[in-house]
Structure 1
Amino acid sequence: MTKNNDIPNPYQGLTSDQVLDTMRLLAAEETRNQILMGLLYNYLLDSQLLKGSQYKNPLDFICGHIQEISRSALLIYSAVARAFTQKVCSQYGVYRLRSLLTYKGAAGIELNYEEPGGTVILVPDEKGEVKPKPFSSCTVDDMRAALLHLRQSTPSTSIPAEQRKLVDQFREAVIRRFPQGSPVRVQLRQHKGMVVVDFRAIPVLQVEKLTEALLDLLYPVREVPEAEEVQHTS
């Protein structure tokens, strides 16, 4: 395969500083769009707009009609938009904040949702030496390394990867159902030789939200195949 050198590049002639400035603007706009998509999805999730339709699962509804939207990405946008303000998202980025939420759930730490930058993250260096680092100074790679170290250094290291993945899905599905700053937590642990998942701090009057989240995850409503979607024209 040969490169198509005839495709015009609008950035020809920029200096290195101009490239950085332009990249920052594009990244900020990308983050803004991601968080707005999350807010839009959450609105659909919380509303009754799909009631009575064949699309009772907002994820199927959106991704079934807009194929270029990733399901996993939309769930990330949703979880972050549920937890943090647009200002915080613009400052730290959606994916760094998603990693912070995962770290919070795994480490069982408290989090200041309005000012998360001061959260202490235990990050291993190249030699494996762990040093405390404020979240504001952590990269996405730092957060991944901190999560990996946390999981490897806890007694739950024998928990199969597929079960960890399933609990991560539980956590994402449940947390996005509750408002920003909610104390709700989903944690994985071992008990008497079994792997168990704990749903903590669920408000009594909002237990239904937990039920809905688990039902949507375990028994998703599939979209109607395109061939069955008949467009009526006058």
Structure 2
Amino acid sequence: MFKLLQQSFKGGPPVQWTPPDDMSLEQARVEMVGLLAQEEINHHRLGLIYSYVVDKKLAELSGYKDAKDWAHQNLGQVSQSALSLYGTVANRFSAAVAQKFGMTALYLLLTYKELAGLKVDHDEPGPAPIDVPDAKGVVTSKPFAACTVAELRRAILAKRKPTSSKPLPPEAVTLADQVTQAVVSCFQKGDPVRVQLRNHQGEPVLDFRGIPLAKLKQLVAALTADAIAELLAHT
């Protein structure tokens, strides 16, 4: 840690960089992945330094109430929640692991670990099994390395919610898919219309979201169309 704090950072204005005219898509991907990896390394280092400030009570020794107060007054460009995230992850995972998986994903893994009682190898967290529910409540076990941040958030939310009394029947899922297709097809491409099936205490519930106020008539027309009436007649 002492060596870390002794490192100097170059000052001065940043050098303006523009992509070369002949950059390929693969070259763009490699460049962006490299920049993202560098960002994770910097965030990990921020976490180590912030944890050092907290552990050594450097802020209190300098007259601040605590490390949060010091950060608030001196590091306004980064939120307290971000610093806490960086510190939590940096204290448990190496910089190499942070670079590979990302600070946010690792923080979510730690949250999931506590909720699920999961054992995680902090040197090799990739294989850790995560129960990921889809939009219909169907759960699939995936290794942490294969999960997106959005999937990790859904897995955490599912662990926090009480389990529904029973799974949705297949016919309800099929009907919901058919109704969704019928409704969405009545709107233009680009309209933010979303129809989502969810399990509410064992009962299938359809949520309609993103309906433009000026197009409410289209929703009513879609729900009263002969096609949907025929579908409901067979339930």
Question: One fold, TM greater than 0.5?
Answer: yes
Q: 3-state SS of the aligned residue for 2:31?
A: helix
Q: 3-state SS of the aligned residue for 2:131?
A: strand
- What is the letter of the counterpart of residue 125 of structure 1? D
Instruction: Structure 1: give runs of 5+ residues left out of the alignment.
Output: 1-7, 156-234
- 2-side partners of 1:69 and 1:39: how far apart? 15
- What is the letter of the counterpart of residue 26 of structure 2? D
Alignment of 1:29-108 (within 5 A): 29-108=38-117
- 1-side partners of 2:163 and 2:134: how far apart? 18
- 2-side partners of 1:125 and 1:48: how far apart? 44
In structure 2, the residue matched to 1:229 is none
Alignment of 1:194-205 (within 5 A): none
- What is the letter of the counterpart of residue 149 of structure 1? A
- Aligned alpha-carbon RMSD (Å): 1.8
Higher relative contact order (CA 8 A, sep 6+): 1
- 2-side partners of 1:51 and 1:148: how far apart? 37
- 1-side partners of 2:57 and 2:89: how far apart? 22
**1:11 to 2:38 alignment:** no
Q: Which moved more, 1:100-109 or 1:59-68?
A: 59-68
In structure 2, the residue matched to 1:22 is 31
- 1-side partners of 2:55 and 2:142: how far apart? 36
* CA drift at 1:48: 3.8
- 1-side partners of 2:149 and 2:163: how far apart? 22
In structure 1, the residue matched to 2:150 is 141
TM-score normalised by structure 2 residue count? 0.59
Q: 3-state SS of the aligned residue for 1:74?
A: helix
- What is the letter of the counterpart of residue 62 of structure 2? S
Does the Cα contact within 8 Å between 2:72 and 2:80 map onto a contact in 1? yes
- 1-side partners of 2:105 and 2:119: how far apart? 17
Instruction: Structure 2: give runs of 5+ residues left out of the alignment.
Output: 1-15, 165-235
- 2-side partners of 1:56 and 1:85: how far apart? 30
* CA drift at 1:25: 0.7
Q: Is the alpha carbon distance of 1:56 and 1:16 closer, same or farther for their aligned partners in structure 2, counting shifts above 3 Å?
A: same
- 2-side partners of 1:93 and 1:26: how far apart? 12
Q: 3-state SS of the aligned residue for 1:50?
A: helix
Larger radius of gyration: 2
- What is the letter of the counterpart of residue 22 of structure 1? E
The alignment-based identity, stated in percent, is 37
* CA drift at 1:52: 3.6
* CA drift at 1:137: 0.6
- 2-side partners of 1:154 and 1:102: how far apart? 18
